Amino acid sequence: MTPQHLLSTLGVPAAAFDAGTLEARSPIDGQILGRVADAGAEAMNAAVERAHAAFLAWRNVPAPRRGELVRLFGEELRTHKSALAALVTLEAGKVTSEGEGEVQEMIDICDFAVGLSRQLHGLTIASERPGHRMMEQWHPLGVVGVISAFNFPVAVWAWNAALALVCGDSVVWKPSEKTPLTALATQALFERALARFGSDAPAHLSQVLNGRAATGEAMVDHPLVALVSATGSTRMGRAVGPRVAARFGRCLLELGGNNAIIVTPSADLDMAVRGILFGAYGTAGQRCTTTRRVIAHTSIHDELVTRLERARKSLKIGDPRESGVLVGPLVDQAAFDGMQKALADARAQGGQVAGGARVLADAQPNAFYVEPALVQMPGQTAVVCHETFAPILYMLRYEAFDDALALQNAVPQGLSSAIFTNDLREAETFLSARGSDCGIANVNIGTSGAEIGGAFGGEKETGGGRESGSDSWRAYMRRVTNTVNYSRALPLAQGVKFDV
Ligand code: UN1
């Protein structure tokens, strides 16, 4: 199906993607898929004001009823899963099953949010004063601004929007400049759900504004945006975080990762090899959870390298729509240049590089396909500590388990981590307070491909935010502590006397 056909199947009017200064290109072949308008700061400011008006009405709609809207949206996603997934593949270059997995992740978070819409619980708290009761309530927060990245062009928005909507917030979305069309399609599906929902949903409950930096900056700076939830590079987070803090807004940051897998002597190597391959080379190394480092015990290091090398060379690279292809293209030339620079740095820092070359350049001169790279490093040098958004796996060795833990934690990022071991002591130590310092720590599975039920995010330069499952919803609400006095006296707390 052509991109135009997919977009119209998904309900996007042609006028939305056939004019404008932002070009959407397919990483598959460099073809222009469509052109969209760059909204700009003024349009963003107006959208935030409309969103705030929507919030003022939506916060009064009972939460379970708000959940009904998200349920209807989940139905639209189920109906149009393959079309939206195909568009994700075209615009982000993901292989078909990963495109479908991404839409499934949206459906999953909708289901989660529907249940949550009846569970936005607060606590009751024992008061120290007689005849008093304390409790806390969670109330809608306001306008939630979402900044998303090209690599999960729709699922990460859905994590935020599904929760925000049941929490009683309105949503304004600034998608990646590289993936404006999947955003328009998602919005069109949301509007279908809105049309079926009924008149108690206010206009402008969820809006999408494509654009360049100025569009996003206006959102970041707008005092009516109560929460900015931003996914992307640490560089982007460093720009966004302080600006939101300067106006005392809330930020939820999900930034870079530098995720490692420790492989110990007792590990099931067949499983470890599979986990590492998907983690390192799946999505062409373009997930924030991608496995970027393996820390292998000296006794199994060489065997692991041999097995990984054999498997790496057999991975089918190419058009992500073709069956059997596991590694699609890099998103653009800048990603390719970044990868080549990292490999040159790795060589200069003593690394032994296998793979990494551009392939299919004759057939696809405007696209960037690469052989995934495996790099044996003499130690955790500067390039290993840096997140390069490409399929490069650095191999490191360790002798003592504590050294493996130290290496795992000695990078600036703290998103995901894993250990392959059959030794209970090692596994539990890895998960303990003195183990992995990441937001995600796994045993005998890889670093990527998290389910939506858990809280997703990480520490240090990853930004500290938590999205998706568990109690991440609390970031989208404001907490109010209530003390109710049902006695006839007015005692003060802490025994303070103020008798008049
Ligand atoms: C991201 O790369 O920004 O855990 C999100 C995973 C996916 C989400 C990744 N569920 O790999």
50 and 163 share a domain?
Answer: yes
**Is residue 369's pLDDT more than 90?**
yes
Please give the average per-residue pLDDT across 181-193, as a whole number.
98
Residue 1 pLDDT level (bands cut at 50, 70, 90): confident
Q: What is the pLDDT of residues 8-65, one digit of tens each?
A: 999 999 999 998 999 999 999 999 999 999 999 999 999 999 999 999 999 999 999 9
339 and 238 share a domain?
Answer: no
Query: Would you state the pLDDT for residue 459?
Result: 98
Query: Would you state the pLDDT for residue 2?
Result: 87
Query: Would you state the pLDDT for residue 346?
Result: 98
147 alpha carbon – ligand 1 mean position (Å): 15
Q: How far is CA 13 from the centre of its chain?
A: 28
**CATH code of 302's domain:** 3.40.309.10
Q: Please give the structure tokens belonging to residue 108.
A: 């999953």
Q: What is the pLDDT of residues 7-19, one digit of tens each?
A: 999 999 999 999 8
Global model pTM greater than 0.90 = yes
438 and 470 share a domain?
Answer: no
Please give the average per-residue pLDDT across 203-223, as a whole number.
98
Please give the average per-residue pLDDT across 199-221, as a whole number.
97
The number of domains in the chain is 2
E strand residue ranges, 232-324: 250-254, 259-263, 291-297
Residue 197 pLDDT level (bands cut at 50, 70, 90): very high
Query: Would you state the pLDDT for residue 28?
Result: 98
Radius of gyration of the chain (CA): 24
- 331 within 8 A of 346, measured Cβ to Cβ: no
Nearest to 183 by CA among 214, 219, 158, 218: 158
Asked if residue 163 is part of any domain, the answer here is yes
296 and 210 share a domain?
Answer: no
353 alpha carbon – ligand 1 mean position (Å): 27
CB of 231 sitting under 6 A from ligand 1: yes
Expressed as residue numbers, the domain containing 152 is 3-255+463-481
Please give the average per-residue pLDDT across 335-342, as a whole number.
98
Asked if residue 344 is part of any domain, the answer here is yes
Please give the average per-residue pLDDT across 89-111, as a whole number.
98
**CATH code of 9's domain:** 3.40.605.10
Taking the CA of residue 288 as reference, the ligand 1 atom at the shortest distance is 2
273 and 188 share a domain?
Answer: no
Minimum CA distance residue for ligand 1 atom 6: 449
Taking the CA of residue 231 as reference, the ligand 1 atom at the shortest distance is 3
41 alpha carbon – ligand 1 mean position (Å): 29
Q: What is the mean pLDDT of the chain?
A: 97
CB of 52 sitting under 6 A from ligand 1: no
Q: Which residues are marked as active site?
A: 254
397 and 302 share a domain?
Answer: yes
175 and 98 share a domain?
Answer: yes
- 182 within 8 A of 153, measured Cβ to Cβ: yes
106 alpha carbon – ligand 1 mean position (Å): 12
Asked if residue 438 is part of any domain, the answer here is yes
User: Does the structure's ipTM exceed the value 0.95?
Assistant: yes
CB of 152 sitting under 6 A from ligand 1: yes
140: enclosing H helix or E strand = strand 132-140
66 and 193 share a domain?
Answer: yes
Distance CA 112, CA 400 (A): 42
473 and 338 share a domain?
Answer: no
Asked if residue 453 is part of any domain, the answer here is no
Asked if residue 45 is part of any domain, the answer here is yes
Asked if residue 267 is part of any domain, the answer here is yes
CB of 151 sitting under 6 A from ligand 1: yes
Residue type for 3, please?
Answer: P
To test the pocket of ligand 1, the residue of 289, 456, 467 to mutate (highest count of ligand atoms within 8 Å of its CB) is 289
Minimum CA distance residue for ligand 1 atom 7: 449
**Is residue 417's pLDDT more than 90?**
yes
132: enclosing H helix or E strand = strand 132-140
7 and 91 share a domain?
Answer: yes
**Is residue 500's pLDDT more than 90?**
no
Asked if residue 417 is part of any domain, the answer here is yes
To test the pocket of ligand 1, the residue of 287, 389, 466 to mutate (highest count of ligand atoms within 8 Å of its CB) is 287
Query: Would you state the pLDDT for residue 213?
Result: 96
CB of 287 sitting under 6 A from ligand 1: yes
Q: Of 415, 443, 471, which one is at a domain's C-terminal end?
A: 443
Paired sense of beta strands 291-297 and 392-398, if any? parallel
- 220 within 8 A of 253, measured Cβ to Cβ: no
Percent of the chain at pLDDT exceeding 90: 99
133 alpha carbon – ligand 1 mean position (Å): 42
426 and 360 share a domain?
Answer: yes
Asked if residue 449 is part of any domain, the answer here is no
380 and 473 share a domain?
Answer: no
Minimum CA distance residue for ligand 1 atom 3: 288
Distance CA 482, CA 115 (A): 26
- 3-state helix/strand/coil string of 13-32: CHHHCECCCEEEECCCCCCE
What's the number of CA atoms in the CB half-sphere (13 Å) around residue 249? 26
Q: What is the pLDDT of residues 102-150, one digit of tens each?
A: 999 999 999 999 999 999 999 999 999 999 999 999 999 999 999 999 9
CB of 289 sitting under 6 A from ligand 1: yes
Concatenate the DSSP letters of all residues of 378-444 into one string: SS--GGGGS--SSSEEEEEEESSHHHHHHHHH-SSEESEEEEE-S-HHHHHHHHSTTS--SSEEEES
DSSP reduced 3-state for 147: strand
